[in-house]
Structure 1
Amino acid sequence: MERHILIVEDERSISDYVKKELIFEDYLVSTAFDGQEALEVFEVAEPAIDVVLLDWMIPKLDGLEVLRRMKKMSPNTPVIFLTARDYVGDKVAGLDAGADDYITKPFEIEELLARLRLIFRKWATERAAIYQIGHLRVDTAGHEVLIDKEAVKLTQREYTLLLYLLEHRGEAISRADILDDVWGMNFDGQENTVDAYVRYLRGKIDVEGEASLIETVRGVGYKIK
């Protein structure tokens, strides 16, 4: 399956170079040039992002803040810092904040490609799980969602929400708990945000003529049987 990588880098020459090399290696690549754009792309990208390559010193929101928000949005998505900040304290701060790897500039593209291969091997080993419910199949190792063997593209938020419901299948989960666990406790949106995203998900994973896989629990929230 084609892996989707997001490059967050405000120096366009570096971004263009890394993007070209990754495309040559058959990766699907998206780019963002500031912290706010990075979060917007991360949330709505289809298919969902598999790895983020993140510079620290970027406009609007710095890399550390972007990392924290991405990890709240999707805790299992690997993030690799690509930054000129080579002070040991910065490396410790980045890794403690949730970064999965830290590469200092300048770097050789061969090293970056090797680190990516390592991330994917580790991810496949640690996070491998397959959920099969009716016509739905989710392969977490391949970050793949299939409906009747046909691939479906989900945004990052939709994918994270679906995994959350699958991990708690059989449980009736309140909208408030879904907001806290999927959007993060600092999210200031309303509970109808959950309703909207469940509606988006149903539109992509439900099959006409069959009951929805995501059941509405009246007065509570949602569950997957």
Structure 2
Amino acid sequence: MKILLIEDDVELATSIERFFKIKAHNIDTFYDGFDVINHLEEKNIDYDLYILDVNVPNIDGLEILKFIRKTKIDVPVIIITASLEIETLQTAFNYGCTEYIKKPFNLLELEIRLDRVFYTKTDIVKIEDDFFYDKSSMELKYKEESIKFRKKEKLFVDILFKNIGFIVSNDSIIDYVWEGEVKEKYPIRQLVNTIRNKLPYDIIKTEIGIGYKIEG
């Protein structure tokens, strides 16, 4: 696996480098945001994973994330942050981060986050023995009966199950569910309430100001 890391704490960066090299991964490490942008503009390297500290010199990790997502839509990006302020997390998920990890952390926690990011999921997502989602047919079934959804409801459920265990940002939901339709206000809450009323019990978790998720 080819990894790009930006972390201005040299000791932490060295530990992360060692962690990946022991696992036979290749890692390019940077300590300055400006250097990362220059590198990405000059080199045509397909990284499998980006790990970005938010607070780095010159160009911060969130701006680097935004830059990456202009061309790399599906590559996992893990944000490292010393803060859990709602504004920081909201911006990170709006810009398309896959997962985040809060400083200080140990390498076992990083490994757990990586397992979440790269865990291979089957088409069938089981919630309970009699409650599951089929990603191939976009059907949510309870006791062998398919729950009926309108188109936008179905798309909302689908994007959450495609990203099960992760927060899906409000902006990502709008892009996926409304498919480019321009509105002054997107009635996400109303949509979620309608879906919840159709479920046997609530499986949708609200991350206030950020988005929604279904626990994996």
C-alpha displacement of 1:12:
1.1
Partner of 1:93: 91
Task: Specify which structure has the bigger relative contact order, considering alpha-carbon pairs within 8 angstroms and separated by 6 or more residues.
Answer: 1
TM-score relative to the length of structure 1: 0.50
**Structure 2: segments with no counterpart, 5+ residues:** 124-216
Give the whole-Å Cα distance in 1 for the aligned partners of 2:43 and 2:110: 22
117, 125, 139: which one aligns with 2:115:
117
The one-letter code matched in structure 1 to 2:114 is L
Question: Hey, what does 1:31 align to over in structure 2?
Answer: 29
Q: Which residue of 1 aligns with 2:56?
A: 58
Of the three residues 62, 73, 76, the one matched with 1:75 is 73
Q: Percent identity?
A: 28
Measure the CA separation in 2 of the matches of 1:44 and 1:28. Answer: 19
Which residue of structure 1 lines up, in the alignment, with residue 82 of structure 2?
84
Q: Can you list the C-alpha shifts for 1:132-171, whole angstroms capped at 9, x where unaligned?
A: xxxxxxxxxxxxxxxxxxxxxxxxxxxxxxxxxxxxxxxx
User: What residue in structure 2 maps to residue 207 of structure 1?
Assistant: none
Aligned to 2:17: 19
Structure 1 segments of 4 or more deviating over 2 A? 39-47
Task: Give, as a single letter, the amino acid of the residue that structure 2 aligns with 1:37.
Answer: D
Q: Which residue of 1 aligns with 2:198?
A: none
What secondary structure sits across from 1:77 in the alignment?
coil
The DSSP-based 3-state class of the residue aligned with 1:73 is coil
Aligned length in residues: 123
Q: In the TM superposition, what whole-angstrom CA distance separates every residue of 1:167-202 from its partner, at most 9, and x where no partner exists?
A: xxxxxxxxxxxxxxxxxxxxxxxxxxxxxxxxxxxx
Distance 2:22 2:40 in 1: 22
Amino acid paired to 1:29:
I
- Residue 39 of structure 2: aligned partner: 41
| 1:9/1:54 contact within 8 Å kept | yes
Residues 32 and 41 in structure 1, CA contact (< 8 A), matched pair in contact too: no
State the superposition RMSD in angstroms.
Answer: 2.1
Report the 3-state secondary structure (helix = DSSP H, G, I; strand = E; otherwise coil) of the residue aligned with 1:107: coil
More helix as a share of residues: 1
Q: Give unpaired runs (5+ residues) of structure 1.
A: 127-225
Alpha-carbon distance between aligned partners in 1 of 2:44 and 2:14, rounded to the nearest angstrom: 21
CA drift of 1:58 comes to 0.8
Normalising by structure 2, report the TM-score.
Answer: 0.52
How far apart, CA to CA, are the structure 2 residues paired with 1:73 and 1:100? 15
Instruction: Quote the offset at 1:118 in angstroms.
Output: 2.2
The SS at the match of 1:54 is strand
CA distance in 1, matches of 2:74, 2:81: 21
Match of 1:4 in 2: 2
